[in-house]
């Protein structure tokens, strides 16, 4: 079970690093550089897949960690 947690952890780190950088967009709120920041933009294609995979891996990580804690 520990090896599964290790594999999920590595995959979660890798997938988070693949996500687009939204922090730079958020920093432009202060400078006023991005008018389209608060527009409703849907994720499509690869971005949507990466977001869903991140949520799935996070849930799996939580469940495995909880199972190991209860043992």
pLDDT digits (tens, 9 = 90+) for 1-10: 899 999 999 9
- Global pTM? 0.70
pLDDT at 71: 80
User: In 3-state terms, what secondary structure has residue 36?
Assistant: coil
Q: Answer whether residue 33 shows pLDDT above 60.
A: no
Nearest to 53 by CA among 7, 18, 24: 18
What does the pLDDT read at residue 7?
A: 96
Going by C-beta distance under 8 Å and a sequence separation of 6 or more, which residues neighbour residue 9?
Answer: 61
Alpha-carbon gap, residue 56 to 6, rounded angstroms: 15
Q: Round to whole Å and give the CA distance between 58 and 50.
A: 12
Q: How confident is the model at residue 44 (pLDDT cuts 50, 70, 90)?
A: confident
Band (27; pLDDT cuts 50, 70, 90): low
């Amino acid at each position: 079970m520990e090896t599964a947690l290790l594999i999920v952890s590595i995959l979660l780190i890798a997938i988070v690093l693949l996500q687009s950088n939204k922090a730079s967009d958020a920093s432009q709120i202060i400078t006023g550089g991005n008018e389209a920041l608060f527009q409703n933009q849907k994720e499509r294609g690869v971005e949507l897949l990466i977001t869903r995979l991140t949520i799935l891996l996070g849930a799996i990580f939580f469940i495995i960690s909880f199972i190991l804690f209860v043992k």
